[in-house]
Amino acid sequence: MNATLAVEHAPVTREQWLPRIEALHAAGARLLTLWASDERDHGEGDLLRAAFLQPGGVVIVELALPDGAAPYPRIDELFPAAARLQRALRDLSGVQAEGGDRRPWIRHGAWSDGDAPLRRDFRGGTPDPTPYGFVRVRGDGVHEIAVGPVHAGTIEPGHFRFSVVGEKVLRLEQRLGYVHKGIERRFTELAPAAARRLAARVSGDSAVAFAWAFCLAEEHIRGVSVPPRATFLRALLLERERIANHLGDLGALGNDAGFGVGLAQFMRLKEDLLRVNAQVFGARYPMDAVVTGGVAIELTPAGAALLQQQFSVLAGETERLRAIYDDHAGMQDRFLGCGKVPGELARRLGVTGLVARASGIARDLRVDLPLPPYDALAVRCASAAGGDVAARVAVRFDELAESLRLGGELLRRLPPGEVCAPAQAPAPGGFGVGLVEGWRGPVFVALETATDGSIRRCHPHDPSWHNWPALEHAIIGDIVPDFPLINKSFNLSYSGVDL
């Protein structure tokens, strides 16, 4: 896929599955994702895969599950983030883990237990009206507050159940899956170019990251090498996506802490960024700029000058606003100590990306496994120890400054040449993965094509999977009115996990 990402396939027997994953856990590997493919058309059952990130690259542990095989050994006791993935696997692929939470996760009522939408022979399910079994907290003075799926503001739909005493939160239970629209099955119905557009819309705020990851997987299968200029332009787009999201979040976080001026100022800067995107790349959100083989945009010297100028203006503006945020006693009072995820808890839960960096886990793929052009850029990884809203604000400010610096650097060192490799014959049958540090954290795509070039299976994975459970912990002991602020400081994707 690219010169730097090593992918090891580790086929195991049922007996080897757990020991192999225990060894990875002991060695400090991080779970990337868990998924299955229906291989019945090849005379087999399901192929279960668990992908892990380790210092040298990615390792994919593969377990063949013949038709009628016993449930596979669960891995959520080692990697808690797998708990929801295991439930989703059963809902979508009909593959069952041994033990663990038996409640559905993605499946609400549109199909029934036993219908498996990702099986090739699935022809629509039967609706299932069984209500979801929320966990009840009992005790003196405990009551429940249920919110969503439709919320008061402009945010994605999900359901949150708070068990509270007075205003204090004892427990939060999340129920997601509302925006499940069948993305994984849809991939198999689309030609590769349309599938790339779909990848960019797994989570619209991370369009560049997902499109890039999808293209890395496809380029690996096709043996395409991407021209250097294209990798620089991809990174430029990815850093601008990070900047846009951080600007929006910093404004919203100020607003949620009662500082409306912050929202007005940051939203102005974000709008400026989008307008320059429209001018230079032809779209406010260049969702389809990353294409197989390179990019579908070109950068003129005038465009480059405009971007360069904007990076330096934004650097000055955000530095000034950071000083205002840091000195604002009222805001700091809301940020500090609120929504805490201590480092030890973050490590145990397997928290990832930005949220992990704010809990002292300084991991960033642009530093740890830098794909071109990041290998030439010496990215500085942001991190903060606090694990609270203040730390997540600080990490955003640091990353914003770093992305603005990287943007300037990418422009200064932009190599000449082609922006896209010449068109290739359709992909031969194959398997590839892509891994990109999006603004929330590692974005992963696994792609499998058939010999005629069509897509057999595509599994996109958003880092939000690993951080949603941490949000349930972060609110414990805080008060209900702090939830919007804490939730915003995580800013997780619903679409990216509901799929």
Partner 1 sequence: MLDILKQIARVGIVAGRRQAEAAPGDAAADPELRAVGRAPCMRHVDAGSCNGCELEIHALGNVYYNIEASGMKFVASPRHADLLLVSGPVSRHMREALLRTHDATPAPKRVVAVGDCAIDGGIFDAGYASCGGVADVIAVDATASGCPPAPEAIIAAIERALES
**Residue 126 CB, nearest approach to partner 1 (Å):** 11
**287 or 338: whose CB is closer to ligand SF4?**
287
**47 or 213: whose CB is closer to ligand SF4?**
213
First to last CA, the chain: 24
Give the SS3 label for residue 147.
strand
- Work out whether strand 6-12 and strand 57-65 pair parallel, antiparallel, or are unpaired: parallel
**Residue 156 CB, nearest approach to ligand SF4 (Å):** 10
Return d(Cα 376, Cα 311) in angstroms, integer.
20
- Binding-site partner at residue 83 among partner 1, ligand SF4, none, CB < 5 to 8 Å by type: none
**Residue 201 CB, nearest approach to ligand SF4 (Å):** 4
The phi, psi pair for 57, rounded to 5°, reads 155, -145
**150 or 305: whose CB is closer to partner 1?**
150
**Residue 496 CB, nearest approach to ligand SF4 (Å):** 12
Residue 223 region by backbone torsions, left for phi larger than 0, else alpha for psi between -120 and 50, else beta = left
DSSP-assigned states of every residue in 221-256: HHT----HHHHHHHHHHHHHHHHHHHHHHHHHHHHH
- Binding-site partner at residue 120 among partner 1, ligand SF4, none, CB < 5 to 8 Å by type: none
Q: Which residue ranges make up the site for partner 1 (CB under 8 A)?
A: 108-111, 117, 122, 124-125, 149-150, 152-157, 177-183, 185-186, 189, 194, 197-198, 201-205, 207, 248, 261, 264-265, 267-268, 270-271, 274-275, 278, 284-285, 287, 320-321, 323-324, 327-328, 493-496, 498
**Residue 117 CB, nearest approach to ligand SF4 (Å):** 20
* Structural contact between residues 391 and 359, judged by C-beta atoms closer than 8 angstroms: yes
**113 or 375: whose CB is closer to partner 1?**
113
- Binding-site partner at residue 149 among partner 1, ligand SF4, none, CB < 5 to 8 Å by type: partner 1
Amino acid identity for residue 363 in this structure: R
Side-chain-side CA neighbours of 174 within 13 Å: the count stands at 24
**Residue 322 CB, nearest approach to partner 1 (Å):** 11
**80 or 125: whose CB is closer to partner 1?**
125
**192 or 293: whose CB is closer to ligand SF4?**
192
Using alpha carbons, select from 306, 296, 285, 297 the residue that is nearest to residue 411: 306
Tokens 């950068």 identify what position?
299
Using alpha carbons, select from 414, 411, 438, 397 the residue that is nearest to residue 315: 397
Amino acid identity for residue 419 in this structure: V
**198 or 371: whose CB is closer to ligand SF4?**
198
**273 or 379: whose CB is closer to partner 1?**
273
Cα Rg, the chain, nearest whole Å: 22
**33 or 495: whose CB is closer to ligand SF4?**
495
What sign does the dihedral 289-295-300-306 (CA atoms) show? positive
Total residues binding ligand SF4 (CB under 6 A): 2
**Residue 453 CB, nearest approach to ligand SF4 (Å):** 24
**114 or 204: whose CB is closer to ligand SF4?**
204
Strand partners, 12: 63
| Site mask for ligand SF4 (CB under 6 A), range 171-210, x = bound | ------------------------------x--x------
- Binding-site partner at residue 275 among ligand SF4, partner 1, none, CB < 5 to 8 Å by type: partner 1
- Binding-site partner at residue 284 among ligand SF4, partner 1, none, CB < 5 to 8 Å by type: partner 1
- Binding-site partner at residue 154 among partner 1, ligand SF4, none, CB < 5 to 8 Å by type: partner 1
Return d(Cα 320, Cα 315) in angstroms, integer.
9
Q: Which tokens sit at 301?
A: 């010297």
- Binding-site partner at residue 134 among partner 1, ligand SF4, none, CB < 5 to 8 Å by type: none
Cα-based distances in Å from 96 to 46, 155, 274: 11, 32, 45
**Residue 316 CB, nearest approach to partner 1 (Å):** 11
**Residue 264 CB, nearest approach to partner 1 (Å):** 6
Using alpha carbons, select from 57, 54, 52 the residue that is nearest to residue 34: 52
- Binding-site partner at residue 205 among partner 1, ligand SF4, none, CB < 5 to 8 Å by type: partner 1
Amino acid identity for residue 74 in this structure: R
**114 or 182: whose CB is closer to ligand SF4?**
182
**25 or 201: whose CB is closer to ligand SF4?**
201
* Structural contact between residues 355 and 490, judged by C-beta atoms closer than 8 angstroms: yes
- Binding-site partner at residue 381 among partner 1, ligand SF4, none, CB < 5 to 8 Å by type: none
**Residue 146 CB, nearest approach to partner 1 (Å):** 13
Tokens 């945020």 identify what position?
325
**Residue 287 CB, nearest approach to ligand SF4 (Å):** 7
**Residue 198 CB, nearest approach to ligand SF4 (Å):** 9
- Binding-site partner at residue 239 among partner 1, ligand SF4, none, CB < 5 to 8 Å by type: none
User: Which residues are at the interface with ligand SF4 (CB under 6 A)?
Assistant: 201, 204
